[in-house]
Structure 1
Amino acid sequence: MTLTRLGCAGWSINREAAASFPADGSHLERYARVFNAVEINSSFYRPHQPKTYERWASSVPDDFRFAVKLPRSITHDARLQEIDALLDRFAGEAGTLGAKLGCVLVQLPPSLTLDAAAAQHLFERLHAHFNCMLACEARHATWFTDTATALLQQHRITRVIADPPAGQAGPHVPTTEQAYVRLHGSPKIYYSSYDETYLQQVAQWLAARDSWCIFDNTASGAAIHNALSLQNMQHR
């Protein structure tokens, strides 16, 4: 039997979706009684104190998992160069999620070409710090070559499936047995909702493998409705 970690990029619950969640508790507590995963994107923009991660971990059931996005200071500012101190700090923060840390997500800027040595160093340091799934959403064509695929496979890094895709000319080539799907919204990224036909296709695809599926079309509140719809399809 396969396992899908389903959720959104964040745990905000808009008024239109409120009836699908318990009425009591914080937004995270209510969210975590319906979904089994969430992606923390705010870590990309600013650090969170260890006690904040600890509080989040204590707010969710034992089988709930967080994916945490690597800070932009590492991926976009340092561009994977001289990152050890930055990575140590991040690990000291996000690591306090403990067993509820399910994935560390690396999203690279569209302009970042593959530097195999820098990527290898990052992946080795991530594995040294974290005992969880590691996923990479690259967006430059050099990250979709045979060389890049072999590098990701060697270091057990899951290549993200993104919609809409960026930098990838051909079909998705998996690098691990697990999948990590990020649905950003299409045609208008972060805003557009997915229709029932598309969600049904996603549900059928997810049923065949262990995966994470995160809706990132949060700007107008579509993500939580799409996630609820997909969850209902999976339970039919």
Structure 2
Amino acid sequence: MWTHPSWQGRLLPHPLPPGERLRSYATWCNAVEGNTTFYATPAKSTVETWAEQVSPDFRFVVKLPKPITHERRLTGIDDPLRAFLEAIEPLGPRAHALWVQLPGSFAPTDLGTLAGFLRRLPSAYSYAVEVRHRAFFDDPRSAQLLERILTTAGAEWVPFDTTAFFQSPPTSDAERDAWTKKPRVPRRSSALTDRPIVRYLGRDATDRTVEGWQPWLDTVTDWLREGRSPTVFIHTPDNADALTLARRFHADVRSRLPELAPLPDPLPTEPLTLF
């Protein structure tokens, strides 16, 4: 995400060499979704450059590759899993969670496979699972079984809150594209671990996005008061203003919880001058 085209030169300095882009992003936000790892396992040397650009307390939530979760559906995955874990090893403590995003067809009947997969994972990492099958949201028994499996493994259930997005029909190309691709499931706001993770999708209009995240302000504030360490990712259909919106969400939580540490000051997009 730190190379998002619409941020370059507008929110982040441009041009920047690849080895400096994440460093600039980290002055805006202290966490990032590692979504590119879904499409290809990066070279270990590439991950080393990521680690070098951020502090040890920066958070990567890194998605497992598609061959593991979607193509092989968590079975027969020893080789790609081993390659992935070796590649991300340089992140060290920055690997806040490994993100197991499952396809919409991964149903309650597949939970035995998920339980077996989670049991085999190394304890050096924390894990977060995102499900999209409606039964996990509509059928209490399926939800309880999933929670039991995740709790036993010490893994988190990642909600992807699209409720605000689907409240009314799309009005732009970016919204129309997201309308066909994003899951339409109810909001879920229960934490299973001390590291809850929230993914929120708003609309093109900032006021609609801010209105939609209001329920999360109380939830996240309560988690912090309970001693949990939540991570919240703010999205819009085109993500053009995701950085400023993420900081606004953080500021809204901080207004309720002043002891929450502030985010860093972003780097200027233009060099500083005397005049």
What's the TM-score, normalizing by structure 1? Answer: 0.81
Q: Deviations over 1:83-132 (max 9, x none)?
A: 12111111011122112111111111111113233112221222x1x523
Structure-1 residue corresponding to 2:94:
100
Q: CA RMSD in A?
A: 2.8
What corresponds to 1:163 in structure 2?
Answer: 161
Aligned sequence identity (%): 26
- Is 1:49 the counterpart of 2:47? The answer is no
**Partner residue in 1 for 2:79:** 85
Q: 1:136 aligns with which of 125, 129, 136?
A: 129
Relative to structure 2, which stretch is displaced further, 218-227 or 29-38? 218-227
Q: Which runs of 5+ in 1 are unaligned?
A: 1-8
Matched residue SS, 2:104 = coil
Secondary structure at the counterpart of residue 99 of structure 2: strand
Higher strand fraction: Structure 1 or Structure 2? 1
**TM superposition shift of 1:46:** 1.0
1:3 maps to which residue? Answer: none
Q: What is the alpha-carbon distance in structure 2 between the residues aligned to residue 125 and residue 55 of structure 1?
A: 29
Q: Of 150, 170, 174, which residue of structure 2 is paired with 1:152?
A: 150
AA aligned to 1:50 is: K
- Matched letter for residue 141 of structure 1: R
Deviation at 1:163, TM superposition (A): 1.3
1:226 to 223, 240, 245: 245
* Gapped regions of structure 2 (runs ≥ 5): 164-182, 224-228, 256-275
1:178 corresponds, among 174, 191, 195, to 195
Q: Does the Cα contact within 8 Å between 1:156 and 1:176 map onto a contact in 2?
A: yes
Name the structure 1 match of 2:166: none
* Equivalent position of 1:6 in the other structure: none
Question: Is 1:65 equivalent to 2:45 in the alignment?
Answer: no
CA contact (8 A) 1:33 1:61 kept: no
Q: Of residues 220, 230, 233 in structure 2, which corresponds to 1:206?
A: 220
Tell me how far apart the structure 2 counterparts of residues 169 and 163 of structure 1 sit (CA, whole Å). Answer: 7
C-alpha displacement at 1:71, in angstroms? 0.5
Instruction: Please name the residue that 1:4 is paired with.
Output: none
- Letter of the 2:155 counterpart: I
| 2:114 counterpart of 1:119 | yes
Aligned to 1:195: 209
Quote how far apart the aligned CAs of 1:201 are.
Answer: 3.8
Counterparts of 2:220 and 2:248 in 1: how far apart (Å)?
14
Separation in structure 2 between the aligned mates of residue 138 and residue 28 of structure 1, nearest angstrom: 28
- The 3 A distance-change label for structure 1 pair 167 and 113 is farther
Radius of gyration: which is bigger?
A: 2
CA contact (8 A) 1:39 1:68 kept: yes
2:62 and 2:98 in contact (8 A); partners too: yes
Measure, in 1, the Cα distance between the counterparts of 2:189 and 2:219.
13
Alpha-carbon distance in 1 for matches of 2:237, 2:83: 28
Aligned residues of 1:218 and 1:224 also touching (Cα < 8 A): no
1:170–1:58 distance in 2 versus 1, CA, 3 Å: closer
- Bigger shift: 197-206 or 80-89? 197-206
TM-score, scaled to structure 2? 0.70
Q: Match of 2:234?
A: 215
Shift of 1:79: 1.2
> Match of 1:182, SS?
strand
Residues in 1 aligned to 2:135 and 2:78: alpha-carbon distance in whole angstroms? 24
